[in-house]
Amino acid sequence: MEDTFTNRLKKILKIRNMKQVELCEKTKLSSGLINKYLKGKAFPRQDKLSLLAEALDTNEVWLMGYNVPIDRNYGKTKITEINIINPSTNEVLKKIPYSYRTDIADEDPNNFFAIYASDNSMAPLLDIGDIAIIKKFKKFINKKTYLLKVKGSIPIIRKVTLSDNGEIELQAMNMWNFPIQNNLTLNDIEFLGEVVKVENNSAFK
């Protein structure tokens, strides 16, 4: 059930242990206007709402009365950088922009890196020189696409399928040149991460 702006304003003032006079000072809004907000006689325009949310370190949508987290960063997107690495040596080759939601723990930039595709085994999804965004490995999920090593070989990207009898099958998209690998088990594979996004520059060559 949705709350009211007035109730939320009173609640966040109490949570922040902030007096009305301090809120006036921080927002540069008049005490008369703040009084109207607190008595439910006025609702702030967007510019005033932004000032209040910033001064109270809270989410504007929450302050409006909606059922969302109080966290000011909820639903916001930030841009930072992640490393493109050489997966064989872990050498950092370059940094690229990475956009993420600050309120989703799974999108933490520390969980991600990127690589350049070294072959066309996953073409047309991923061709030579394209960038694959990799989420560091946490747990195996059947039929996902991973960056992996087979018995200490060089890193490759393959879709991994686990059968009911425990056998692993590694499948490339370009099966003409990269046949299916099977007769493997999870013990034969070192997972480096899951492929979660592709920057397919080859489509524009």
Q: How far apart are CA 46 and CA 40, in angstroms?
A: 17
Task: Take residue 150 and report the two structure tokens written for it.
Answer: 């087979």
The structure tokens 């085994």 sit at 121
Which domains, ranges and CATH numbers included, belong to the chain? 5-63 (1.10.260.40), 77-196 (2.10.109.10)
59-76: per-residue pLDDT in tens? 999 999 988 889 888 888
CA dist list (Å): 18 to 22, 25, 57, 119, 168: 6, 11, 11, 59, 60
Q: Are 170 and 179 in contact (CB under 8 A)?
A: no
Query: For the chain, which ranges sit under pLDDT 70?
Result: 1, 201-205
Give me the amino acid identity at 191: F
Q: What is the pLDDT of residue 203?
A: 41
Give the DSSP per-residue string, 84-135: EEETTTTEEEEEEEEEEETT-GGG-GGGEEEEE--SSTBTTTB-TT-EEEEE
Alpha helices, DSSP H only, in the chain? 5-15, 20-27, 31-38, 46-55, 60-63
- Can you give the pTM of this predicted structure? 0.69
Task: Take residue 128 and report the two structure tokens written for it.
Answer: 């030579």
Q: What is the pLDDT of residue 204?
A: 39
Task: Take residue 79 and report the two structure tokens written for it.
Answer: 């841009």
Residue in 72, 81, 71, 78 with CA at minimum distance from that of residue 101: 78
CA 112, 116, 122 angle in degrees (round to 5)? 100
Whether the ω angle into residue 109 lies within 30 degrees of 0, i.e. cis, is: no
Q: What is the pLDDT of residue 78?
A: 87
118 exposure class (CB count in 10 Å sphere: 0-12, 13-18, 19+): middle
Q: What is the pLDDT of residue 71?
A: 87
The structure tokens 């109490």 sit at 14
